[in-house]
């Protein structure tokens, strides 16, 4: 029996049979025109949520111009928040007050503010209460420490933390990172992934190269 079921809404079941409703596969609970999520990426919250798109990206609206793009096998802890470009205020004048947002006929002016997509690679772990600022790209295999405020791009397989987030360390050597980005195990069929879990969990890149 496979470990993972891509079609599940709540993918974790306790040994006593209790379904853990605090954790969801995001692909199966988010229907938002500006958000895309890869298979098996999940989020957890201390309380079950009814609107996961709003929980993760509260400023991303259907009329927004930017997108939030999330890869496969990502893991988002409680309090992960993406502050997308639609949260911005105009900063070119003497006031940042959003005067025009209070009338429907002038609200459209805010769509014209500068915007950038936020991109999360594959197999990214974002810790408790981390905040990702607009337009950031997080490389595959990166780890974002709890409480981090990420204001700039994060390289693949890099651990960052703090406010603003700074590099703590690189997880593997440049050579191994290059190999992993070429192997792209996250794009394999799930049967192949699970057949080679020992190599993935054991950081055996040589075994993955011939898998």
CATH number at residue 99: 2.160.10.10
Contact, 200 vs 193, CB < 8 A? yes
End-to-end CA distance of the chain: 21
The answer as to whether 12 is a domain residue is no
161 with 203, same domain: the answer is no
Which DSSP string do the residues of 72-106 spell out, in sequence order?
Answer: SS-EE-TT-EE--GGG----SSS----GGGGSHHH
Which DSSP string do the residues of 13-36 spell out, in sequence order?
Answer: B-TTS-B-TTEEEGGGT---TTEE
> Residue 196 catalytic?
no
pTM, full prediction = 0.93
192 with 96, same domain: the answer is no
| Distance set, CA 140 to CA 2, 135, 153 (Å) | 24, 16, 12
199 CB-contact burial (10 Å; exposed 0-12 / middle 13-18 / buried 19+)? middle
132 with 179, same domain: the answer is no
43 with 142, same domain: the answer is yes
42 with 54, same domain: the answer is yes
pLDDT in 10s for each residue of the chain, 211 residues: 689 999 999 999 999 999 999 999 999 999 999 999 999 999 999 998 999 999 999 999 998 999 999 999 999 999 999 999 999 888 888 999 988 888 888 887 777 778 899 999 999 999 999 999 999 999 999 999 999 999 999 999 999 999 999 999 999 999 999 999 999 999 999 999 999 999 999 999 999 998 8
67 with 94, same domain: the answer is yes
Which member of 32, 78, 89, 122 is catalytic?
Answer: 89
54 with 74, same domain: the answer is yes
133 with 191, same domain: the answer is no
95 with 167, same domain: the answer is yes
When divided into structural domains, the chain yields a total of: 2
Contact, 160 vs 142, CB < 8 A? yes
Tell me what pLDDT residue 91 has: 86
* Closest-CA residue to 123 (of 59, 190, 76, 175): 76
Tell me what pLDDT residue 1 has: 67
The answer as to whether 13 is a domain residue is no
Domain-ending residue, one of 139, 156, 171: 171
The answer as to whether 133 is a domain residue is yes
The answer as to whether 30 is a domain residue is yes
Q: What residues make up the domain containing 194?
A: 173-211
112 with 147, same domain: the answer is yes
Secondary element (H or E) of residue 201: helix 197-201
184 with 92, same domain: the answer is no
* Closest-CA residue to 84 (of 62, 116, 109): 116
177 with 166, same domain: the answer is no
Tell me what pLDDT residue 107 has: 81
The answer as to whether 36 is a domain residue is yes
Other C-beta atoms closer than 10 Å to the C-beta of 73 total 20
């Amino acid at each position: 029996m496979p470990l993972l079921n891509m079609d599940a809404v709540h993918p974790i079941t306790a040994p006593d049979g209790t379904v853990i409703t605090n954790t969801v596969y995001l692909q199966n609970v988010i229907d938002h025109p500006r958000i895309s999520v890869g298979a098996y990426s999940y989020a957890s919250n201390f309380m079950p949520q009814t609107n996961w798109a709003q929980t993760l990206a509260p400023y991303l609206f259907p009329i927004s111009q930017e997108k939030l793009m999330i890869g496969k096998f990502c893991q988002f802890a409680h309090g992960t928040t993406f502050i997308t470009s639609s949260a911005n205020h105009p900063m070119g004048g003497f006031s940042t007050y959003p005067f025009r947002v209070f009338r429907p006929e002038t609200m459209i002016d805010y769509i014209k503010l500068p915007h950038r997509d936020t991109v999360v690679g594959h197999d990214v772990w974002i810790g408790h209460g981390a905040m990702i600022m607009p337009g950031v790209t997080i490389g595959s295999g990166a780890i974002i420490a709890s409480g981090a405020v990420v204001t700039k791009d994060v390289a693949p397989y890099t651990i960052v933390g703090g406010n603003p987030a700074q590099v703590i360390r690189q997880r593997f050597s440049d050579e191994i990172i290059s190999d992993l980005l070429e192997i792209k195990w996250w794009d394999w069929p799930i049967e192949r992934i699970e057949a080679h879990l020992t190599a993935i969990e054991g950081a055996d890149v040589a075994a993955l190269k011939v898998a």
